[in-house]
Amino acid sequence: MSADDDGTTMNPETDDERSTERSPSDAGDDDSTLSLREVSFAFGSVTVLEDATLDLDAGTLTALVGPNGSGKTTVLELLAGLRSPNSGSVSRPGGTARSVAYLPQTPQFRSGFTARETLSFYMDLVDDERSPTDLLERVGLEGAADRRVEALSGGMTRLLGVAQALVGDPPVVVLDEPTSGLDPDVADHIFATVEAIARDGRTVVIASHDLEAIEETADRVVTLVDGRFVQDGAPADVVEATGASTLRAAFSDAVQGAERKAVQLDAPPTGGDS
């Protein structure tokens, strides 16, 4: 989902301006795969990605982790077609960004609508013939179907966003920090819901700082530090490869290792006779 002018979250498939637009980066070798190929992206002099390659499998929940400000949101936006890379290519199922649903960190919905009416509105736009109740039940929000969106709690709003991401039955769902700031029980419910969505056969990518939940639910974790993917694998494999005891410890090792390398690269050369 992308944000329209009034801040309402939308699936790119429902955005008329995107319905006929295809980015040059949509080209790829395999129309069934979500992938980055030698992608670089920068904001001015600040590098977010540098020559990055990543293949993301259907039926898999992949967690993207990294320090604050490392560019996780930008990576998700590149995958969703909301940004174009400076170089390299992005391949998406069907060759178009319309196959990707994007949930921003803070979804917003038009006030005055109930949860059911909100989903019905977007489902009508894409001729999704399922009942809105089906999607609300999918995320455990059926009990709030007739509650106005402005009366939903933070966790309920995130769940409504997850439900909206499923409108149109997209093969790829990308979520940016869907559990940020939520109570542990609500966060656990959202992770379980997202995991179940992946088990439906979708490619699901989630950016999160909740490393404990990621270790429990994700099939794969990718760590972004200084513009590069420095760890990539099943959580247990990443932990084992670093000799750490937990995924959080393995993540800390990766960040500290990158910082030490950066200090070494920035250090002035030492003088002396050769």
DSSP annotation string for 169-234: --SEEEEESTTTT--HHHHHHHHHHHHHHHHTT-EEEEE-S-HHHHHHH-SEEEEEETTEEEEEE-
What pLDDT sits at residue 97? 81
pLDDT surpasses 70 at 230: yes
The SS3 assignment for 59 reads: coil
What pLDDT sits at residue 1? 41
CB within 8 A of 150, min separation 6: which ones? 111, 112
- Domains assigned to the chain: 2-108+154-162+172-266 (3.40.50.300)
pLDDT surpasses 50 at 113: yes
What pLDDT sits at residue 95? 82
What pLDDT sits at residue 93? 92
What pLDDT sits at residue 10? 41
Lowest mean pLDDT segment, chosen from 9-23, 32-46, 157-171: 9-23
Q: Tell me how far apart the alpha carbons of residues 225 and 217 are, in angstroms, rounded to a whole number.
A: 22
Provide the percentage of residues in the chain whose pLDDT is more than 70. 82
Residue 261 banded pLDDT, cuts 50, 70, 90: low
What pLDDT sits at residue 94? 86
Strands across the sheet with 46-56, in order? 46-56, 34-43, 87-91
What pLDDT sits at residue 33? 80
Question: Region 131-139: what's the mean pLDDT?
Answer: 97
What pLDDT sits at residue 271? 54
